[in-house]
Amino acid sequence: MSARNDSGLTSYRGRLAPTPSGYLHLGHARTFWTAWERAQENNGILIMRNEDLDRPRCKDSFFDAMMEDLRWLGCHWQEGPDVGGPVGPYNQSERMKFYLNIWKQLRNRGAIYPSPHSRKDVERALRAPHEEEADSPFPLHLRPPEGTGMDEPNPGMLNWRFRVPEEETISFQDGKAGFVEKVAGKDFGDFIVWRKDGFPSYEMAVVADDYEMGITEVVRGEDLLTSSARQLLIYRELDWAPPAFFHCPLVREASGKRLSKRNNSLNISTLRENGCNPEQVRAQWDKFL
Ligand code: GLU
């Protein structure tokens, strides 16, 4: 899949998209480092985007700490909430008009429908659905008949779901993971695009922003491979060319388990306070590979 270029922005554009719900951890830092390296290798622009839509979990102080840790590690970005840029605002909490616009387009095309089901799904839709937390496909019999006349996303405090094409294989060539295939309706079901609390889901917000910000390559953890397949369906529905994808292997313990975010000793700030320099931190994540 080739990098998109219909925004008038010509070169490689990558992004760092942290959710500021805690301190920067070794695992996430490595993915961000790869994103920075990819932008460097491609003489590109790197964007910092603050994914702060989950208001109860996100804190400005976490975001500031993450930016400080990333700068200390040696990552630099050319656009972001701290430095400005042509495609801001760079805080998701300030981008609701973009999300509403896309909700309308999807609604007009009949691609999404209001759904009163599953409180658990709503909680999960607040976050990027990393693989371990992935849900089983949404039961088809809970889909309403096609077509609804609603003009706003949540007049009845409903979630909105994307109607996935049953049994269609969604495939893409990933820059790191190789050829990826996911089957709609089997590997994932109708997913939430708008939450009943009035905010877009992770899947929809990230597509809206990556598109509006002219991102040509998305670098993220391989636990989001299924999410990328979902997002490809949104791109297709909107007739938008998708970015290229580069899914990084996760940093794992020797047992194969993903590093626990609860292990504070692996926070970048802790490693730094304990006297590590950036090279030593990078050596730490290599050790876990
Ligand atoms: N904010 C998401 C996270 O921290 C970003 C995932 C993505 O790269 O789309 O997991």
Closest to 258 (Cα-Cα) out of 18, 23, 26, 65: 26
Question: pLDDT: is 7 or 212 the higher one?
Answer: 212
Q: Which atom of ligand 1 has the smallest separation from the CA of 51?
A: 1
State which ligand 1 atom lies nearest to the alpha carbon of 206.
9
197 and 255 assigned to the same domain: no
Going by their DSSP bridges, the two strands 169-174 and 45-48 should be labelled as: unpaired
- Amino acid (one-letter) located at 37: E
Residues 185-240 pLDDT 10s: 999 999 999 998 889 999 999 999 999 999 999 999 999 999 999 999 999 999 99
SS3 content of the chain, % helix, strand, coil (to 5): 35, 20, 45
Would you say residue 229 lies in a domain? no
Mean pLDDT of the chain: 88
- Give the span between the Cα atoms of 180 and 10, in whole angstroms: 27
Q: Is residue 140 part of a domain?
A: yes
As a whole-number percent, the residues of the chain with pLDDT over 90 amount to: 70
- Quote the number of domains for the chain: 2
Distance 131 CA to ligand 1 centre (A): 12
- The answer on pLDDT for 23 being more than 70 is yes
Atom of ligand 1 nearest to the CA of 128: 10
User: Does pTM surpass 0.75?
Assistant: yes
pLDDT (0 to 100) of residue 146: 66
Q: Is residue 115 part of a domain?
A: yes
What is the number of alpha carbons within 13 Å of residue 115 lying toward its C-beta?
Answer: 27
Tell me which residue range forms the domain holding 114.
Answer: 95-207
- pLDDT tens for residues 93-133? 999 999 999 999 999 999 999 988 765 654 565 567 776 55
pLDDT at 148 (0 to 100): 55
| In the predicted structure, residue 182 carries a pLDDT above the cut 50 | yes
| Residue 64: band (very low, low, confident or very high) from pLDDT cuts 50, 70, 90 | very high
- pLDDT score of 1: 32
Output the CA 204–ligand 1 centroid distance in Å: 12
- Helix, coil or strand: residue 28: helix
> What is the number of the ligand 1 atom nearest to the C-alpha of 130?
10
* Helices and strands, counts by H and E, the chain: 8, 9
Do 101 and 172 sit in the same domain of this protein? yes
54 plus 128 within the same structural domain: no
Mutate to test the pocket of ligand 1, among 32, 46, 51 (most ligand atoms within 8 A of CB): 51
- From residue 126, alpha-carbon distances to 51, 113, 264 in Å are 11, 18, 23
Which is the closest atom of ligand 1 to the Cα of 218? 8
pLDDT cut 70: percent of the chain above it: 85
Show which of 207, 241, 268 is a domain's final residue.
207
Give the closest residue (by CA) to ligand 1 atom 7.
Answer: 220
Query: What is the reported pLDDT for 15?
Result: 98
Q: Is 222 in the pocket of ligand 1 (CB under 6 A)?
A: no
Largest Cα separation within the chain, whole Å, is 60
Bond prior to 89 in cis (omega within 30° of 0): yes
Residues belonging to the chain: 289
CA distance 226 to 182: 7
Domain shared by 83 and 131, yes or no: no
- Of the two residues 135 and 190, the one the predictor is more confident about is 190
Determine whether the shortest distance from the Cβ of 210 to ligand 1 is under 6 A. Answer: no
Is residue 47 within 6 Å of ligand 1 at its C-beta? no
Instruction: Grade residue 286 by pLDDT with cuts at 50, 70 and 90.
Output: confident
Q: Give 31-52 pLDDT, tens digit per residue.
A: 999 999 999 999 999 999 999 9
The answer to the question of residue 258 being in a domain is yes
